[in-house]
Amino acid sequence: EIVLTQSPGTLSLSPGERATLSCRASQSLSRNYLAWYRQKPGQAPRLLIYGASSRATGIPDRFSGSGSGTDFTLIISRLEPEDFAVYYCQQYGSSYTFGQGTKLEI
């Protein structure tokens, strides 16, 4: 099973600032099948990024994903109030596993 480790566990920032979230895989991901999701309290996760760097439909360009192999990054360039939530990475190249999440708090 591929284990995904996200860091940091909690990130404290202010609106307008830049957020950098990391996701490390225990082994190299095939085809860079790495996705990022945002989950607001009481809601389902929402797909932000797939294939490590492609934005999902309707996702603003302040969200960007990068990385390959075992190291991946999600950057939110200018935080909006609705961005304060929990973010999960997920690999879908070898079965499906999720990271433990990064909480982005004000």
Partner 1 sequence: EVQLWESGGNLVQPGGSLRLSCAASGFIFSSYVMTWVRQTPGKGLEWISSISGSGGDTYYADSAKGRFTMSRDNSKNTVYLQMFSLRAEDTAVYYCAKGPQFDGFSFWGQGTVVTVSS
Sequence-ordered list of residues with C-beta below 8 angstroms from that of 92, at least 6 positions apart, any chain: 33, 34, 35
3-state secondary structure (DSSP) of residue 31: helix
Least Å distance, CB 43 to partner 1, is 7
Residues near partner 1 (CB under 8 A): 33, 35, 37, 43-47, 50-51, 54, 56, 88, 90, 92, 95-101
Nearest distance in Å: CB 99, partner 1: 8
Q: How far is the CB of 82 from partner 1 (least distance, A)?
A: 17
Q: What is the DSSP string of 66-96?
A: EEETTEEEEEESS--GGG-SEEEEEE-SSS-
Q: Cβ closer to partner 1: 10 or 18?
A: 10
